[in-house]
Amino acid sequence: MGSTRAAVGLATILLGIAACGAGGRTSICEAYDSLRTAVGAMDAARGAATAGDGETLERRIDEVDRLVRAARGSLSGADPEASTASAARVMLEAANYLGYMTGQYRSTGSVDFSLTQFASRELSRAAAGAGGAPLNC
C-alpha cells in the first residue's frame, strides 16, 4: 500500500512538472533565446570573416539581423513585470550592441567583433536578473 501511494505521488509530481514545461514560452524568454542565438551567429560570422567566406558572413549577418528584430518584437510584447524589467532593459542593450554590429557591416563592410563580448555579458546579466529576479527560462 505504501509503495502504491509513493508511485501515485511520484506520478503526480511528474505530471505537474510536465504540465509546467508544456506551456508556451514567455515573451522575455523568447527574446533571451533569440539574442543568445544571435550571439552564436555573430561568433560564426567572425569565423566566416576570418576564413574570407563572404557568402557565409553575409548569411550570418542576415541571421543576426532577423534574430535581433525577433527579440525586440518579443520584448515589446512582454508583460511589463517588475521582476523582469531589469532583465528586459539589459537585453535591449545586448540587442543594441548586435544591431550596431550588423549596421556597421552594412555601412562599412567590416565588423568590430569584439563587441560580441559586451552583448554576451548583458545576456548573462539578464539571465541573472540584472538586479531583479533571475529569469526562469
Specify whether the CB–CB gap between 30 and 74 falls below 8 A.
yes
- The pLDDT score that the predictor gives to residue 83 is 73
Digit-coded pLDDT (tens) for 33-51: 999 999 999 999 999 999 9
CATH number of 26-127: 1.20.120
CA-to-CA distance for 136 and 29, rounded, in angstroms?
8
Single pTM value for the model: 0.78
Residue 19 has pLDDT above 80, yes or no: no
Give CA angle at 37 (112, 72), nearest 5°.
85
Specify whether the CB–CB gap between 32 and 135 falls below 8 A.
yes
Mean pLDDT for 95-108 is 97
Average pLDDT, the chain: 84
- Burial label for 57, CB within 10 Å (0-12, 13-18, 19+), is buried
Report which of 90, 117, 99, 114 is spatially closest to residue 32, judged by C-alpha positions.
90
Q: Which amino acid is at 86?
A: S
- The count of C-alpha atoms lying within 13 angstroms of the C-alpha of 124, restricted to the half-sphere facing its C-beta, is 6
Report which of 109, 99, 104, 42 is spatially closest to residue 70, judged by C-alpha positions.
99
